[in-house]
């Protein structure tokens, strides 16, 4: 594993500040319209879509953070069916399946906490940041 050195967050440079996000507006508007259609036709279907999205983000976050490796085909089963140990075998991942499920549930809880902040159900406070950190590192062997 690479040796990372902590650095303070740097101010955005001119290149980052000049990025034009106007091209994202049609995507955002399309997303809002699609969400509204799904919600009107079936609130349960929207809730299930949101749960799958959270599970997918949970899986991808752990992979990006290099907490585990997971076969692509195996990724879909927990996204669709939930985080259950019987959906993953030892040959599909580089860690024990029980530990993988613990890490996935931690990621899921952290994403839900962030979504609560975005929905303004929770204020972003120093205590919330500590809570988020505790959730994310609950089942990690080390924090780098």
In tens, the pLDDT along 86-121 reads 999 899 899 999 999 999 999 999 999 999 999 889
Helix (H) or strand (E) holding 27: helix 25-41
Inform me whether the pLDDT recorded for 144 exceeds 70: no
CB 101 within 8 A of CB 55: no
pLDDT, tens digit (0-9, with 9 covering 90-100), for 7-25: 787 888 899 888 888 888 8
pLDDT, tens digit (0-9, with 9 covering 90-100), for 39-94: 889 889 888 988 999 999 999 999 988 899 988 878 888 999 999 999 998 998 99
CB 104 within 8 A of CB 58: yes
């Amino acid at each position: 594993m690479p040796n990372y050195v902590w650095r303070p967050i740097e101010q955005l440079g001119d290149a980052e500040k000049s990025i034009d996000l106007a091209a994202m507006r049609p995507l955002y508007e399309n997303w809002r319209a699609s969400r509204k259609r799904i919600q009107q036709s079936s609130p349960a279907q929207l809730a299930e879509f949101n749960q799958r999205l959270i599970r997918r983000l949970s899986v991808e976050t752990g992979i990006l953070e290099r907490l585990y490796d997971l076969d692509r085909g195996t990724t879909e089963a927990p996204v669709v069916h939930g985080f259950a140990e019987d959906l993953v075998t030892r040959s599909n991942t580089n860690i024990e399946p029980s530990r993988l499920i613990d890490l996935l549930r931690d990621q899921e809880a952290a994403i839900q906490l962030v979504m609560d902040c975005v929905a303004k159900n929770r204020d972003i406070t120093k205590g919330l940041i500590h809570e988020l950190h505790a959730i994310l590192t609950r089942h990690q062997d080390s924090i780098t």
